[in-house]
Structure 1
């Protein structure tokens, strides 16, 4: 049991990666829509590229979406609407009519008696409310049949039999009430009835909608049957019209039949193998070309998490409505990975993610082409993500690429622009706008996974930050030295294509450990008194070496990212504090070299190697007396060659050519610092 635990302990990193690999495979399979894959690819308006296709089984021909929409629209236009009839309204109208007529009637003005007018008015009201009155306007024809619901009774009438309140005055007719044709009497009656009348009919939306739904549900989605063995399409025949719809029907039926209980396990195995191949390519790429990422389980988890997130979001959108698939801002993925790692990792992971999504999106070739091209543009155009203008420009370029690509595919598929769907351009714009949320996402991922991006590096490079201000106050000489090293290292990093922002920030913080004992370092000794003169060489060396440990502790206390702490750890590698080692050796003759040696580790990246060179060269340049261009060139060569002989750069993926370029930059910068010119021969 103990041996098993030891094996697990020694191999916990690889065990975790295996677990992550398997878990990711199962999660992606779970996210995927459950259905088989049709084994033929075809496009509308293109020739059939395979042999003659015969129906492998009998299946129904599905109606196309346009036909179904037309039938649904016809149902909605022909449905008989339901109206509710309120019998209590009429009683109130009669009371109001009697009251208003009594208030307005004057014997001397009208020839017809009030009682006769009342009888005539009530008869007119009875006629108006025979089928009801409404104040709503509907787009129905006069002959349209409607249902009138009065309690539990339902009667059929035509729409023109319902009285509209706007037409009441026109419908009030004295002759129909057998009253004198005197205009004054008619006007009075019309005015009073118009005021008293109230609507008692309104549309019963619930019943009408239920009737519409029932009729739509009753629509037959099929329009015919293809018997087994019947020829569907011949080789070279253009796929259009009925042929296209029959193939779409076969595809839908095939995919639904393949995903059955008997085939369920085999389909899962097929999906699992393909997904595992994609994930295996990711792990192999990281192991071969990005070993530092591969060995960091947090970083590997972060990459896999982003892949799963994009697969999940795209799957949800496809299930809701596949036409919105381009709204998903897939280009956020390479942006985020480039911000935390480098462009090659971002592009490689983006391509693998697009390959996975090709299983679930419609028109997979078109989708994969557009997304891969957009990902490449993202990687090529976005530099220095921390500059907001760069992000806006890149988003505009990404959106433009989507639009151009979609336009080209429409021309290829349709041969004209008549089938162009303008709303698709809106989806591309929405995707571009969603890409702008990359900054909040980067901040969220930094907190969740403890990583650091270029955006955070920009914030850390601010010399007005609390920690750098403290360094400037406690150890002003060290602060000035750090600024000079930062400038040298940044220029060298730009020359060889390393991360210049990262190395600059690392240089600014690499000596913060000197704040613990600032006067023991020559750059902070203002009065020229060297405090080491009173100490034993071993004790002095311990103080000098200790600034690395102190720096790590201060950095952790101030919550600096691990990528910055790496510069503090490695900027001296495992080199020896040679001055005190030589002093002790001359005095005692036999000393332990480890007492004067930095704890390491060695620089393990181009950036940490650059900092070691720049730090050593800048510090040593202060000891030059009457510096000349030749002296500077020679001492830069001597220092860096000495570091190479000590094997300080063995763990760094830096080449001899890059080291030569770094030497050249450092020489040029130091010459500028000391305002030197090239010496001309006499």
Structure 2
């Protein structure tokens, strides 16, 4: 049976159950990307067309006006482009195999080279302005800045080298331009590697402009160019760098949506606690809200210890339990003392309600258009782990029922409790950040049960939880090594010890009662109005 036939059959079966009143008409949202979009992003033919189009465009630019033309310039351009694509395939295969990311790299490089060549041709047409070398002072760092912010430092460095080589070849075969583009591009990559705010992009543009202008001025002095023109062109270089950063800041959200990529700037924006879902969580499930804040602090600190993305871990922790908004009072942190709704439910029904918060969370995340990494964190932060409390309760009830039947001589056998009924749907954590979130979530929840949280008990608790996740093979697919897992455990223990330390017991304060010379000790056993008033005011 093909995939389309299977979907049609499931849709028909769902419609039949709705007609019989055995299912609701609601269709749950799914977090899966459309199959056609995934196929387009991985298509070999699309990749071939992108590479061919990029190569043809660069070769065509080699025929655009050249002052000192080399006879086989087009052949040199062809060799440089093919070598660049081969280097991309060898060093960044994940970028090369994603057509969206490959299109971003090739497109931004083409824009960079086109600007450089365009400015060069313009200077040839306006030689009477004595600005023949102005293209040295225009550090077109558009491609390095954009690629670094979206795809990371390694992709940004590759873009710097490939763009500088191509531009220097097509623009008058200038080694000076090659050096200036390398300096400006590397400066841009360095300044945007940890960009967390929009203004960081602006300062990166200023740094790129200054780097290009300083290099240009030095080369100008060496070639004895007039100082008046040098300072004008240096100022133009700084303005060009600022304009580049503003352009990237303006169009960055569009590129994020097209690529489905999220930057550090996006995670900082999502960490705002005024998000509608987080405000609902604060009002409707305050216990879950406080739990999420604590998990966020633990996960962020643990991520720093192993070199993962701390901001991403914090944002994931904020939203990982939003599915509890559907039935908040069924979860321990939101229950009113003395009222447990699970007392009137069977263990399997209770487990179903607990497990459903994952699917409900995915549904809410899709409604609010949260990024895919957050949706994956909601799906995977429990892996396919066991809801042990209700599973143990179900087994105990089943054993008691079996003993009762034997005592009464009632025939029949117990089929036993199906473990799969009490497991989360999964999948297991697929990234380091989600693996850290799983451990932080479990440790924070379990730490609330400690009656006397001494440092030794906290360490034992964290170690026990980590071993449980390892033996249950929940961390096999997240990419965390054993060394990193125990680094995470050590950081979680340290954070919990700090958060749960016991306070000093202060001595009781004596309170003078007016002018009678009598004194009363402040404490729980004092019934004097003065003592109660003083105690309430502190």
Does the TM-score normalized on the shorter chain lie above 0.5?
Answer: yes
Residues 4-19 of structure 1: pairs in structure 2 closer than 5 A: 12=39, 16-19=43-46
Structure 2, unmatched stretches of 5+, are 3-34, 125-132, 400-415, 504-538
Does 2:273 align with 1:463?
Answer: yes
Q: 2:153 touches 2:193 (CA, 8 Å); kept in 1?
A: no
Seen in structure 2, the aligned counterparts of structure 1 residues 345 and 383 have a Cα distance that, compared at 3 Å, is: closer
- Structure 2 SS opposite 1:358: helix
Task: Give the alignment of 1:145-294 within 5 angstroms.
Answer: 251-252=68-69, 255=71, 267=74, 271-287=77-93, 291=94
2:339 matched to which residue of 1? 529
Q: Distance in 2 between matches of 1:331 and 1:403?
A: 13
- Separation (CA, whole Å) in 1 of partners of 2:123 and 2:479: 48
Q: Aligned partners of 1:296 and 1:427: how far apart in 2?
A: 37
Alignment correspondent of 2:376:
566
Aligned partner of 2:448 among 618, 622, 626:
622
Structure with more contact order per residue of length (Cα contacts < 8 Å, sep ≥ 6)? 1
Aligned pairs for 1:269-348 (under 5 A) are 271-287=77-93, 291=94, 297-321=99-123, 323-325=133-135, 330-348=140-158
Paired residue for 2:356? 546
Change (3 A) 1:353 1:565: farther
**What CA distance in whole angstroms lies between the structure 1 residues aligned with 2:53 and 2:96?**
21
Kept in 2, the 8 Å contact 1:334–1:343? The answer is: no
The structure 2 residue matched to 1:20, chosen from 47, 50, 61, is 47
Residues 35 and 279 of structure 1: CA distance in aligned 2, closer, same or farther (over 3 Å): closer
Of the three residues 456, 476, 479, the one matched with 1:653 is 479
- Taking a change above 3 Å as real, the CA distance of residues 644 and 362 of structure 1, as seen in their structure-2 partners, is farther
**Superposition deviation, residue 511 in structure 1:** 0.7
Residue 634 in structure 1 maps to residue 460 in structure 2: yes
State the Cα distance separating 1:313 from its structure 2 match: 3.5
1:543 Cα shift? 1.5
Q: Matched residue of 2:216: which SS?
A: helix
The structural deviation recorded for 1:383 is: 5.5
CA contact (8 A) 1:478 1:511 kept: yes
**CA 1:399 to 1:316, structure 2 compared with 1: closer, same or farther past 3 Å?**
closer
Q: Is the 8 A contact 2:115 2:140 kept in 1?
A: no
Residues 501, 376 of structure 1: CA spacing in aligned structure 2 closer, same or farther, 3 A cutoff?
same
**Is the alpha carbon distance of 1:523 and 1:595 closer, same or farther for their aligned partners in structure 2, counting shifts above 3 Å?**
same
Aligned residue number for residue 404 of structure 1: 214
**Comparing both structures, which one devotes a greater share of its residues to helix?**
2
Determine if contact 1:282/1:349 at 8 Å carries over to the other structure.
no
In structure 2, what is the Cα distance between the partners aligned to 1:654 and 1:578? 24
Q: Which residue of 495, 511, 516 corresponds with 1:669?
A: 495
Cα distance between partner residues in 1 of 2:83 and 2:219 = 29
Q: Deviations over 1:200-219 (max 9, x none)?
A: xxxxxxxxxxxxxxxxxxxx
Name the structure with the higher strand share. 1
Task: Determine if contact 2:139/2:209 at 8 Å carries over to the other structure.
Answer: no
User: Contact 1:569 / 1:601 at 8 angstroms: preserved in 2?
Assistant: yes
Change (3 A) 1:400 1:273: closer
In the TM superposition, residue 329 of structure 1 has moved relative to its aligned partner by 5.4
Asked if the contact 2:308–2:433 (Cα under 8 Å) also holds between the matched residues in 1, the reply is yes
Q: Is the 8 A contact 1:410 1:420 kept in 2?
A: no
1:570-589 matched pairs, under 5 angstroms: 570-588=380-398
- Distance in 1 between residues matched to 2:241 and 2:368, nearest whole Å: 37
Q: Any gaps of 5 or more consecutive residues in structure 1?
A: 3-7, 38-247, 260-266, 678-682
Contact 2:281 2:289 in 1 (8 A): yes
- Contact in 2 for aligned 1:347/1:379 (Cα 8 Å): yes
The question of whether the paired residues in 1 share the 8 Å contact of 2:40 and 2:46 is answered with no
- Determine the structure 2 residue equivalent to 1:596: 422
Q: CA deviation at 1:670?
A: 0.7
2:231 to 408, 422, 438: 422
Q: Is this contact kept in 2: 1:492–1:665, CA < 8 A?
A: yes
Alpha-carbon deviation of 1:632? 0.5
CA contact (8 A) 2:382 2:424 kept: yes
After superposition, what is the alpha-carbon deviation per residue over 1:407-430, rounded to whole angstroms, capped at 9, x for unaligned?
34345x538987973333133112
* Contact 1:329–1:434 (CA under 8 A) maintained in structure 2: no
Whole-angstrom distance in 2 between the partners of 1:378 and 1:543: 50
Offset at residue 531 of structure 1 (A):
1.6
Determine helix, strand or coil for the equivalent of 2:92. Answer: helix
**Contact 1:537/1:581, CA 8 A, preserved across alignment:** yes
Whether contact under 8 Å (2:136, 2:176) holds in the other structure is: no
Decide which moves more: 477-486 or 441-450.
441-450
SS at match of 2:289: helix
Alignment partners' CA distance in 2, 1:642 and 1:390 = 42
Give me the whole-angstrom Cα distance separating, in 2, the residues matched to 1:30 and 1:459: 37
Give secondary structure in 2 for the equivalent of 1:379.
helix
Q: Report how far residue 523 of structure 1 moved.
A: 0.7
Counterpart for residue 530 of structure 2 = none
Q: Distance in 1 between matches of 2:440 and 2:42?
A: 40
How far apart are residue 612 of structure 1 and its match? Answer: 1.2
Q: Distance in 2 between matches of 1:296 and 1:572?
A: 29
CA deviation after TM superposition for structure 1 residue 466, in Å: 1.2
The question of whether the paired residues in 1 share the 8 Å contact of 2:77 and 2:166 is answered with no
2:409 aligned partner: none
Aligned alpha-carbon RMSD (Å): 3.2
Using the alignment, how far apart are the partners of 1:281 and 1:295 within structure 2?
13
For 1:632 and 1:475, locate their aligned partners in 2 and report how far apart those are by CA, in whole Å: 26
Shift of 1:333: 3.0
Whether the aligned pair in 1 keeps the contact of 2:180 and 2:215 (CA below 8 Å) is yes
Query: Quick check: 2:428–2:477 contact (8 Å CA) kept in 1?
Result: yes
Q: Distance in 1 between matches of 2:445 and 2:296?
A: 12
Aligned to 2:311: 501
